[in-house]
Amino acid sequence: MNFEDLGLKPELLKAVQELEFTELTEIQEKSIPEIQAGKDVVGQSSTGSGKTAAFGLPILEKIENGKGVQALVLTPTRELCVQVTDALRSFGKFVNVNVAGVFGGVSLDPQVSAIRTAEIVVGTPGRILDHMERRTINFQNVKFLVIDEADRMFDMGFIEDVEKIIRHTPKQRQTLLFSATMPPEVRHVVERHLISPVTIKGVVYVDTSLLRQVYYDVKPHDKFSLLVHLLKQNKEGIALVFCATRREVDAVASNLKEQGINALPIHGGMEQNKRLKAVDALKSEKITVLVATDVAARGLDIRNVSHVYNYDVPKSSADYIHRVGRTARAGSEGDAVTLLSERDHVSFTMVLRDRSLKIVRTEKPGFERVPFKRFESREGGGHGFRRSGFNRRPRY
């Protein structure tokens, strides 16, 4: 099915064509007609499957200019909030609809001004609550409530905030919930707040025909050196390197730069402008490697990812799938590489509980051992480096 088959307004179809969208993704093809029909929808699909267009296009069809905030979209992270806001503005380029992005880490005043003229508000739960407490946002005209990346929302501890926001929206509304997985917390929200929802499932698995999955069993003090070797050998496309902690993300990214690899870190502890600059640099290919915590595994729309490296093994098969799902998209091949050391064995066992995952052990190539500088905390919250010897286990 093509977008022309949906009966969209000519203005929306023009924007879609300008964005060079042609065929619908599975979640779009199944969701858009149901949303157009006014039904509550539960959509389950992987990150990057086109969910924003799936809910954004039918909502934009029904928004009326000048009648207050009519759609509220809740997102778990600031990065996703920015991306959804930008996407909705692109889809609504030729219709008279104002979209406001509302998230923390920046001044409230510009957001207050944007909300006054907005018909659609995209926001993170904490900042939405800030505006509710200050009475700078009004939900009385809300016709659409979207909960995007719901499982991630609850992983981050936002369930009470989301429930409070939902209670302040009109009962007569259309509610759309999208989630990659359906844990009990998400099912509870569906049962409590959605009315006879249509459940739609898109692709939520790893396409093994396009994704090569391998792991290397290495000693802890060799892990970084092997990563450097692999990144220098595989220079095509964009690489995502996933670490377990913010501190490790910073250390690995800085050490990669020391080795001449153009890398930037991204995690929840960074200032908002630095996080956005890192994503923008990757999208514009000013850098080729992004070192991240799992914040980047969910929600961020990063194209042309050729390699995903698990520098630390995720703690479940679901987390593994979310990470490696960043590559092998749109018919392109991709590589998922896991660097397994002694401390990762328990987590790797949990990942392998999903029998559909075929992760093949590969013999280590010959590689040069390079130094790794460890972080040392300084008074006042800064960090310094201390050079690590080759034969000592790095401290993470």
Q: Is it the case that residue 300 has pLDDT exceeding 80?
A: no
Burial of 362 (0-12, 13-18, 19+ CB in 10 A): middle
Kindly state the average pLDDT of the residues 260-282.
84
Rounded-to-integer distance, Cα 15 and Cα 10, Å: 9
In this structure, of 231-245, 282-296, 330-344, the range with the lowest mean pLDDT score is 282-296
Q: Is it the case that residue 396 has pLDDT exceeding 80?
A: no
Q: Is it the case that residue 92 has pLDDT exceeding 50?
A: yes
Rounded-to-integer distance, Cα 369 and Cα 371, Å: 7
> What is the structure's pLDDT at 215?
97
3-state secondary structure of 181: coil
Displacement of CA 317 from its chain's centroid (Å): 17
- pLDDT band (50, 70, 90) for residue 322: confident
- Beta strand segments in 8-158, E: 41-44, 71-74, 99-102, 120-123, 144-147
In this structure, of 116-130, 152-166, 277-291, the range with the lowest mean pLDDT score is 277-291
Closest-CA residue to 84 (of 48, 45, 42): 48
Give residue limits of the domains in the chain: 3-201, 211-388
191-202, pLDDT tens digit by residue? 999 999 999 987
Displacement of CA 222 from its chain's centroid (Å): 30
Q: In 37-124, which ranges are continuous DSSP H helix?
A: 51-62, 78-91, 108-117
Rounded-to-integer distance, Cα 229 and Cα 26, Å: 38
Burial of 311 (0-12, 13-18, 19+ CB in 10 A): buried
Rounded-to-integer distance, Cα 237 and Cα 249, Å: 20
3-state secondary structure of 320: helix
Domain 3-201: CATH superfamily, name plus number: P-loop containing nucleotide triphosphate hydrolases (3.40.50.300)
Whether 211-388 and 3-201 are alike in CATH topology: the answer is yes
- pLDDT band (50, 70, 90) for residue 302: confident
Kindly state the average pLDDT of the residues 344-365.
92
Q: Is it the case that residue 218 has pLDDT exceeding 90?
A: yes
Record: fold of 211-388: Rossmann fold (3.40.50)
Closest-CA residue to 180 (of 343, 45, 378, 14): 45
- Taking residue 116's Cβ as centre, other Cβ atoms within 10 Å add up to 14
Q: Is it the case that residue 232 has pLDDT exceeding 90?
A: yes
Helices (H) and strands (E) in the chain, counts: 14, 16
Rounded-to-integer distance, Cα 278 and Cα 286, Å: 9
> What is the structure's pLDDT at 301?
65
158-186, pLDDT tens digit by residue? 999 999 999 999 999 999 999 888 888 89
> What is the structure's pLDDT at 389?
41
Return mean pLDDT, the chain.
Answer: 88
Which amino acid, one-letter code, is at 383? Answer: H
pTM equals 0.74
Q: Which residues contact 207 (CB under 8 A, 6 or more apart)?
A: 328
Rounded-to-integer distance, Cα 203 and Cα 144, Å: 25
The answer to whether the beta carbons of residues 74 and 102 sit under 8 Å apart is no
> What is the structure's pLDDT at 394?
37
Q: In which residue are the tokens 């003229």 written?
A: 117
> What is the structure's pLDDT at 331?
65
